[in-house]
Amino acid sequence: MLMDKPFVLMEGFILDKKIIMTSGSFDLFHYGHLNILLKAKALGDILIVGVSTDKLIESYKGIKPIISYKDRVAIIKELKCVDRVVKQTKVVDIHQFLKLKADIFVLGDDWKNNYTHDGINQLRACKSVVWVPYTKRLSTSSIKEKIIRNAIPNLQSQYGRK
């Protein structure tokens, strides 16, 4: 999957382009996800997006994603702003970032005070991270909560239970 778009790498050399990388789970894809991808793309020429595996999401969120890894990758690949999609097995994989010769890693500013992930700390140290404002009014977790809140009364009325 690392060579989805061959114009990014040719014979191991990067074309004269600024390469931006970001990553995420992208479960229940919504405007907040699109917002960070568009802001990331605006910072450079080529946008590489890491999509978290189901195992990674479960390891740091404690729950499995609703949408499968394969389907989340397919969604991200279809976005015009995305040039390449890679598998993400760590919150921030500094080795992958360096291998892809990315210039900047973009993260939502909700991660700014998180010092528990080595990859983020390494990006901070080499000044290769750009923080973009988190879309506060919208998150996958809030969407899931809203579905549950709305589903319970509907199910109760549908089945005549309280």
The stretch 16-31 carries a mean pLDDT of 91
Residue 158 domain flag: no
Q: What confidence score (pLDDT) does residue 1 get?
A: 36
What pLDDT digit, counting tens, does each position of 98-156 carry? 999 999 999 988 877 776 778 888 888 888 899 998 777 777 777 777 777 877 777 77
What value, to the nearest 5°, has the Cα angle with vertex 82 and ends 43 and 76? 135
The domain spanning residue 123 has which CATH number? 3.40.50.620
Looking at the domain assignment, is residue 155 inside a domain? no
What's the rounded Cα separation, in Å, for the pair 105 and 30?
Answer: 21
- The pLDDT of 20-39, averaged and rounded, is 92
User: For position 150, what pLDDT does the model report?
Assistant: 79
Asked if residue 36 is part of any domain, the answer here is: yes
pLDDT at 88 over 90: yes
Specify the pLDDT at position 6: 41
Residue 14: φ, ψ to 5°: -90, 135
- 2 with 86: CB under 8 angstroms? yes
Whole-angstrom Cα distance, residue 19 to residue 48? 7
Over range 20-47, report the average pLDDT. Answer: 94
Residue 76 burial (CB count, 10 A):
20
Q: Which of 120, 51, 56 is nearest to 86 (CA)?
A: 51
Higher pLDDT, 161 or 39: 39
- Identify the pLDDT of residue 16: 79
Rg (CA), the chain: 18
Q: Say which residue the tokens 């990014």 belong to.
A: 8
Decide if 159 is inside a domain.
Answer: no
Which tokens is 70 given? 């394969």
In a domain, 157, yes or no: no
**In this structure, is residue 106 part of a structural domain?**
yes
Look at residue 144 and tell me if it is in a domain: no
**How many domains, the chain?**
1
CB 112 within 8 A of CB 19: no
Q: What is the pTM of this model?
A: 0.80
For residue 142, is it within any domain?
no
What's residue 125's pLDDT? 80
How remote is the C-alpha of 79 from its chain's centroid? Answer: 13
Host domain of residue 45: 9-135
Q: Is the dihedral of CA 58, 99, 122, 46 positive or negative?
A: negative
pLDDT digits (tens, 9 = 90+) for 50-76: 999 999 999 988 889 999 999 999 999
The pLDDT confidence band at residue 10, using thresholds 50, 70 and 90, is very low
